């Protein structure tokens, strides 16, 4: 069953090779690695965002002026202090993202089989292979949404960096939404962040609509203005899909 909006062909010959199948135990390490890579590669983007925050810029300026005064006008000392502060900020950004990775790995990705593949439960996890038996290039899962009873959440949408822009995420999302429709699900949601502009554009093209945005509930995330977006999608009835 093809869902409207999910069937756009991929670029090149990716779809000729792409195979989407249900998760198996031997995929465990690679699924977790793909998930972690999707976070850590955003370190630079978040670092740049942090530097645009007014309080960070004021802190940098205050530090430079303070060192300049204490060092009796030494520009070299001021530059060294600024370099240390920037390095520390980048390290802190990396640690913030690392906490996000560890949170996911401790939750549903700790035991993927138990979380997603329990018989009789409306939940599933898929992987995309670059050809039968080939390397994993993407993942997606569906679980009942904890924060919105009656809805199901599209989770762990990850695509290997060198495979993006070729329709892999669209195909994975289509598989997940088709499964939801067959299972009688009528409402799906997903959460994404301000760092994932390309993903947000894809979700809009697929028919999802932004329904909420909020700061991630941790002190560090609030300080840097780390915004999370919630998207919703009304799943068409099976006979209309």
Place 3 in a pLDDT band, splitting at 50, 70 and 90.
low
Predicted confidence band of residue 33 (pLDDT cuts 50, 70, 90): very high
Q: Please, what's the largest Cα pairwise distance for the chain?
A: 77
The DSSP 8-state label assigned to residue 44 in this structure reads H
Q: Answer yes or no: is pLDDT of 84 > 50.
A: yes
Q: What's the whole-number mean pLDDT along residues 28-55? A: 91
Q: Is the pLDDT of residue 159 over 80?
A: yes
What is the spatial distance between Cα 187 and Cα 150, in angstroms, rounded to a whole number? 7
For position 14, what pLDDT does the model report? Answer: 57
Q: Which of 187, 193, 181 minimizes the C-alpha distance to 124?
A: 181
Region 159-179 average pLDDT: 95
Average pLDDT on 228-241 reads 85
% of the chain beyond a pLDDT of 70: 92
Residue 119 is predicted with a pLDDT of 93
**Residue 96: how many CB atoms within 10 A of its CB?**
20
Residue 6 has pLDDT above 70, yes or no: no
User: Which is more confident, 27 or 81?
Assistant: 27
What are residue 142's DSSP bridge partners? 124, 154
pLDDT of residue 170: 96
Q: How confident is the model at residue 9 (pLDDT cuts 50, 70, 90)?
A: very low
Q: Does the structure show a pLDDT above 60 at 195?
A: yes
What average pLDDT does this structure show over 63-80? 76
Distance CA 89, CA 50 (A): 8
- Model confidence at 131, pLDDT cuts 50, 70, 90, reads confident
| pTM for the whole structure | 0.85
CA distances from 99 to 37, 103, 193 (A): 13, 6, 15
Model confidence band, residue 20 (pLDDT cutoffs 50, 70, 90) = very high
């Amino acid at each position: 069953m093809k869902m409207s909006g999910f069937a756009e062909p991929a670029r090149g010959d990716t779809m000729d090779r792409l195979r989407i199948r249900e998760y198996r135990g031997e995929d465990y390490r690679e699924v977790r690695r793909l998930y972690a890579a999707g976070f850590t590669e955003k370190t630079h983007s978040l670092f740049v965002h942090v530097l645009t925050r007014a309080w960070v810029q004021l802190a940098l300026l205050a530090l430079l002026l303070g060192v300049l005064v204490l060092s009796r006008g030494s520009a070299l000392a001021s530059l060294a202090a600024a370099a240390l502060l920037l390095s520390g900020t980048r390290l802190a950004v990396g640690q913030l993202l690392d906490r996000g990775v560890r949170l996911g790995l401790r939750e549903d990705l700790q035991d993927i089989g138990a979380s997603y593949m329990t018989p009789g439960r409306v939940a599933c996890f898929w992987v995309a292979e670059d050809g039968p038996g080939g390397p994993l290039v993407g993942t997606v899962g569906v679980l009942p949404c904890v924060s919105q009873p009656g809805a199901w959440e599209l989770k762990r949408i990850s695509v290997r960096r060198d495979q993006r822009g070729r329709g892999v995420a669209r195909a994975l999302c289509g598989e997940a939404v088709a499964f939801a429709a067959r299972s009688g699900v009528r409402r799906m949601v997903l959460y994404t962040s301000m760092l994932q502009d390309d993903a947000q554009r894809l979700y809009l093209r697929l028919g999802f609509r932004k329904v909420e945005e909020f700061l991630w509930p941790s002190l560090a995330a609030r300080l840097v203005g780390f915004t999370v977006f919630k998207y919703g999608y009304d799943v068409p009835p099976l006979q209309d899909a």
